[in-house]
Each structure stands twice: as C-alpha cells, then as structure tokens.
Structure 1
Amino acid sequence: MKKRILMFLGLGLLLAGLSACGTSRQRTTSSALPDSSKYEPTLFFHGWGSSYHAEEQMAHSLVNAGLTKTIIRATVSKQGKVSLSGQFRQGDYHPIVEVGFQDNRNSNPHQWGRWAEATVIKLQQTYHTKTFNVVGHSMGNMAIMYYLLDNSRKLPKLQKQVDIAGHFNGILGMGDEPNQMKLKRNGKPDKMEAGYKALLPLRQTYPKHQIAVLNIYGDKNDGSHSDGSVSNASSKSLRYLVAGRAKSYQERKIVGPNAQHSKLHDNPQVDKLLINFLRN
C-alpha cells in the first residue's frame, strides 16, 4: 500500500513538472504586452548580399528623433526560421525590427517575400501585432513587394511602406541602361522586364486605400539619371504598380554623390524623409 502511494506521488510530481515545462515553453513563444494592438513595429529589410548593419544608420536616426527607444533584431535562416533578439518595451509603441536574412545572396524574390512573411508571422505570434510598417533598400524592396504579391493569409495590416533605391523594372547592365527606359505619366514603363511583369497582379491585389507609400530614389547628377546601379525610371515604375490602390503615394529624389545606390541607406536626407513620413 505504501509503495502504491509513493508511486502515485511520484507520478503526480512528474506530471506537475511536465506541466510547468509546458507553461514555460508557452511563455517563450508569446510575449504579448498590455494593449498589444497599439504596437506598430517598423521592419527594415536590407539589400542583396547585405545584412542588418545596413539598416542601423536609419534605425538609430528614428531613435535619435524620439520616435522610439526600442530596436530589436529578427534573424531569418535559409529555411525561414525566425529568431528574435531583444524585446518590445511596454509603452514604447513604435519599436524597430532590424531584419537580417542569412541567405542574403539568394536571388529568388519570391523567397525573400516568404522570409518577410515569416518575420511578420513571428511578430504576430510573439506580440499579437496587428499593424506594421516596412522600410526596404534595394533587394529589400523585393522582399516587401513579393510578400504583398504572394501573401493570402490574414496577417497584420501594413500601414506604411518606404522603398529606397528600388529596382522594380531592372538594374543597370541587367535589362536596363542609362536614359533608355521611358515612363508614361502614370509610371507605366515602355518596356517591362520579366520581374516587373510578375508584379503586375499587384495592380489588382495591392491592399486598397490601406498603405501610404514613400518612394525614395537617388540621382548621382552625373547625367545617367540613376544612383549608379538603378535608373530613376526603374525606381519610379513603382507608381504604376501601386499608386492606383495605395492610400497615398509620393516620390522623393536625392541628388548628389551621396545619392549613390549603397550610400542611400546612410544618407541624412533619407533619414529626415523617413522620420517625417513615419511620424506623420
């Protein structure tokens, strides 16, 4: 009898221990804060071959401007597993998420879109995020565009989209040449690359009257009408894809040597535009 009692006690302690482990695991997968619907993170997506380091200048400019005190990092593995470093702070409603893709030389834009989706889902699961903003540089814009193109799930709503140095209709030397592409008044290019044609469904599926868009592009002022890697026409072709459905659409040109493609994410003029756009 005594042995039977001891056995039941031992079984009870074991189940209690397993229950505690399960509770602890649940806590690690959800960090919902009070008033979770008020938190609207801004996700930064870097370019091809780059990393979250390219986002740091812009992210810290937002902190210095008083928009937030919180910067966390989301690292996305080749398989799409997202790991978060840092955490949102209670009452700091506009945190920054610096996203880093480990397979940063992958050239499949659909894959970049899937990684962006995985990041949004991770934030939704962890913080019950309901709205968010995005900032993309170069290939990071493709992560955003293909996230919007391929996504059919019910996910947090994108509120503001900032595109910097976007190569929506080709890259110089790879389907585009300086001063060759012509755009109609609505942004429609006279010649469409295969990648641009793939994005055309967004003209019917881009969330209607939901997203405010800021399109920033660089002109080195050297006669090429480009940032050295992407023609202004390629960047401005975004208008034709989204302007008819966006809540608002605006373009801003940065001119001079610091408007070079890889310098745009460290440009104080870009920082100022970004701050004003996200603040308002």
Structure 2
Amino acid sequence: MKKRLMLFVGLVLLCVGLVACGKTEKSGSTNRNVSELANASKYEPTLFFHGWGSSYRAEDQMAQSLVKAGLTKTIMRATVSKTGKVTLTGRFHKHDYQPIVEVNFQDNRNGNSQQWGRWAKATVIKLQQTYHIKKFNMVGHSMGNMAIMFYLLGNTKSLPKLQKQVDIAGHFNGILGMGDKPNQMMLNRAGKPNKMQTDYRSLLKLRQTYPKNQIAVLNVYGNKQDGSHSDGSVSNASSKSLRYLVATRAKSYQEQQITGPNAQHSKLHENKQVDKLLINFLRN
C-alpha cells in the first residue's frame, strides 16, 4: 500500500513538472521573438485594414508592392475573431524594420464602425505586447478607414504612436445609396460637409483629440469621371470630408485623386498609381 502511495505521488509530481516545462517553453518562445529584435523601438510595422465583406487578400497586392519596392521582406497576418481575439501568423524578422501586418477581420460583414475600431485597437495591443513596438503606420481601404478612425477616437495614449495614416476610398460621411446621392454633398473650404451622417458626427470629436502634429495623412480617392464625382460607391465629397476632421491637427495632410476606370471603388486597392503613392509616402 505504501509503495502504491509513493508511486502515485511520484506520478503527480512528474505531471506537474511536465506542465511547468511546457509553460516555460511557451513563454521562452515568445521571449525569443522579442529578444531577436534587439532594437525594438526601430520597428515600425504598417497595418493594412480591408473593407466590409472583404479579407486580408484585398490587401495583398499593395503589400507585395511594398516588398517589391524594397521597403520590407516581411508580411505577416493578424486574424481578429468576432470576440476580438487576435492571432498572429508569421513574425517580425531581425533588422527588417518596416514589416507589414495584414489584418483580417473574421466578422467582416459587421456594420458597426465602432466595433471595427475596437478590433483595430486589439490588433495594436497584441503587437505591442508581443513585440514592444513604439510606433506604427495604418493603411485602410473603404470600411478599413472607419476601423482606423474609430480606433483613433478611443483612448490610445498608452499605445504605440501612429506615424502615418493612409486612407483609400474612405466613406467618412456616407455611401452612395445609403444616405448620400451623387453631386448632393457640399463641402466648405475647410472640408466641412453641409449634412453629416451619424458616424461622421461621432468622429467630430477628433477635431479636438486627434494627435497634434504627430500623424502624416494621405487621403486617396477615386473619380470615375462619369459625372457622378465618385468612385462608383463613395462620393468624392464623402472621401474629402476627412479634411475637416483631422487636417488642422495632423502633422501633414494631402489628398490625391485617382481617375479612370481603375479608379472604381473596389479596384483602388489593385491600382498601380495607388501603389506608387503608398510606396513614396511610407518611404519618405
């Protein structure tokens, strides 16, 4: 009986030891990822955010253009679940200081802009916890821009600093057929729209809270030149209404119009002109 008791105790201690070893190994693996990056503060990842109903695949052409231009060799992915859990696939690499993170929202048909902002924040926090990043860039297409804007609307003081923001085909003040009509929205000289939709009214707080003299902004929009002054889905006025929200506080603000058939809303993230603008903006 005594031998059986000693054997049982020995097995329990062995199991506890194995579990402890497993935890140590897992923790060590995370620590190795960070320790490989001796100069963590030098790493400035660029996060790509796709549009409504889309996925990271819509970001891949732009991401590959940055690789071909020599800005980075690293493309990794951050998958965000419906509950906001972020899973990283791939990793940062030593001395590759401008890695790309393709963000993939699994609940990609969620129409709540604030929720997209919370998911964006969860992604930034995950990268901060994993790699101790100090600064980063954001690139959004369509609804991905609302993820960026509502991320910025939240409390980000304890998070890494956003350095550059690229907005492509942004519907900051509505979408055609959903509260907006071609050639109806008017902007004043400061970019203030004559009528404001609900999300835009929420974003007005950024006129006081947008980080002062910190973020360089590039706003890219498409004009099909078919008389609608739009990219087919978003009016140019809606895209350009970003100016009123951030221009007075941004480090710099610039707008670039893309014209022609490849200026259509869903084609802008495959447009070579957009690639060139993106490369030059991030490189400089």
- On whether the aligned pair clears a TM of 0.5, the verdict is yes
1:17 paired to 2:18: yes
How much has 1:11 moved relative to structure 2?
Answer: 7.0
Aligned to 1:40: 44
Distance 1:23 1:247 in 2: 44
Q: C-alpha offsets along residues 162-198 of structure 1, whole Å, 9 cap, x if unaligned?
A: 0000000111111111111111111111111111101
Deviation for aligned residue 1:152: 4.2
CA distance in 2, matches of 1:5, 1:160: 64
Residue 110 of structure 1: aligned partner: 114
Q: Is 1:54 aligned to residue 95 of structure 2?
A: no
Residue in 2 aligned with 1:266? 270
Deviates more, 1:267-276 or 1:173-182: 173-182
* CA distance in 2: counterparts of 1:51 and 1:7, whole angstroms: 52
Q: CA deviation at 1:29?
A: 4.4
Cα separation, 1, equivalents of 2:210 and 2:14: 54
Within 1, Cα distance between the matches of 2:230 and 2:278?
Answer: 21
SS in 2 for 1:183: coil
SS at match of 1:188: coil
Unpaired runs of 5+ residues, structure 1, are none
The answer to whether residue 229 in structure 2 is matched with residue 225 in structure 1 is yes
Task: Measure, in 1, the Cα distance between the counterparts of 2:135 and 2:145.
Answer: 19
Q: Secondary structure at the match of 2:110?
A: coil
Q: 1:184 aligns with which of 150, 171, 188?
A: 188
Identity %: 73
Counterpart contact for 1:166–1:234, Cα < 8 Å: yes
Cα deviation for residue 17 of structure 1 reads 3.1
Counterpart check, 1:210 vs 2:214: yes
State whether structure 2 residue 67 is matched by structure 1 residue 63: yes
Deviation at 1:22, TM superposition (A): 2.0
* Larger deviation, residues 22-31 vs 148-157: 22-31
SS at match of 1:110: helix
Structure 2 residue identity aligned to 1:92: D
Query: For each residue in 1:27-65, what CA deviation from the matched residue of structure 2 results, as whole angstroms up to 9, or x when unmatched?
Result: 344521211111110000000000001001100000000
- Determine if the alignment matches structure 1 residue 248 to structure 2 residue 252: yes
- The counterpart of 1:92, out of the listed 86, 91, 96, is 96
CA-atom RMSD in angstroms:
1.8
Report what 2:241 is aligned to: 237
Q: Could you tell me which residue of structure 2 aligns to residue 154 of structure 1?
A: 158
Residue 164 (structure 1) aligns with: 168
Within 1, Cα distance between the matches of 2:28 and 2:219? 39
Tell me the CA shift for residue 24 of structure 1: 1.7
Residue 125 of structure 1: CA displacement? 1.1
CA distance in 1, matches of 2:96, 2:48: 18
Structure 1 residue ranges (4+ consecutive) displaced by more than 6 angstroms after TM superposition: 2-12
Distance in 2 (alpha carbons) for counterparts of 1:131 and 1:174: 36
The gaps in structure 2 that reach 5 residues or longer are: none
Aligned to 2:178: 174
Measure the CA separation in 2 of the matches of 1:194 and 1:8. 64
Contact 1:209/1:247 (<8 A) preserved: yes
How far is the alpha carbon of 1:19 from its aligned partner? Answer: 3.1
Matches of 1:203 and 1:35, distance apart in 2: 34
Per-residue deviation at 1:13? 5.1
Secondary structure of 2:18's match? helix
In the TM superposition, 1:189-200 aligns within 5 A as 189-200=193-204
What SS does structure 1 have at the residue aligned with 2:202?
helix
Bigger shift: 60-69 or 10-19?
A: 10-19
**Cα distance between partner residues in 1 of 2:174 and 2:193:** 11
Whether the 8 Å contact between 1:29 and 1:125 is mirrored in structure 2 is no
Task: Normalising by structure 1, report the TM-score.
Answer: 0.95
